[in-house]
Amino acid sequence: MTEGPRLCGNSWVFQQDNAAVHNARLTKDFFRENNITLLDHPACSPDLNPIENIWGWMAREVYKNDELDRRVKAKQPPSATHLWELLQQSWEELSEEYLISIVESLEYILVSELKIWVF
């Protein structure tokens, strides 16, 4: 996050939802101390962040691995290295079509959200 200005210029804005962990004093202090501007995100709204859908897809891909599924159910997760490898593999399997569909679905979500807050 502190790389935002370097990557996007000084006018960049960070997006997050209003989950409790994001509203913790420690989190708010971090943003303030690092001069990070936050996108005003309404509470209890549909997820406006497309990466959440991608994380969900990746989790389903990783957990469909039978060995991993058995270990998770037995509360014996694999090593961090193994989990990282599975995450990298699922990231590489993301199709361009899926990513485009996620971005295109934002129009519907944003229009629906706007109707709730304006009317």
> How many C-beta neighbours within 10 Å does residue 5 have?
13
Q: Which domain holds residue 13?
A: 1-44
- Record the pTM: 0.51
On whether both 32 and 57 belong to a single domain, the answer is no
On whether both 65 and 27 belong to a single domain, the answer is no
On whether both 8 and 65 belong to a single domain, the answer is no
Instruction: Provide, for the chain, the percentages of residues in helix, strand and coil under a 3-state DSSP scheme, each rounded to the nearest 5.
Output: 65, 0, 35
- Summarize pLDDT for 34-84 with one digit per residue, the tens: 888 887 776 656 566 777 778 888 878 777 766 656 655 555 556 778 778
- Summarize pLDDT for 75-90 with one digit per residue, the tens: 555 677 877 877 788 8
Q: Give residue 42's pLDDT.
A: 67
Whole-number Å distance between alpha carbons of 18 and 37: 14
Specify the range with the lowest mean pLDDT, choosing from 19-23, 53-57, 96-100: 19-23
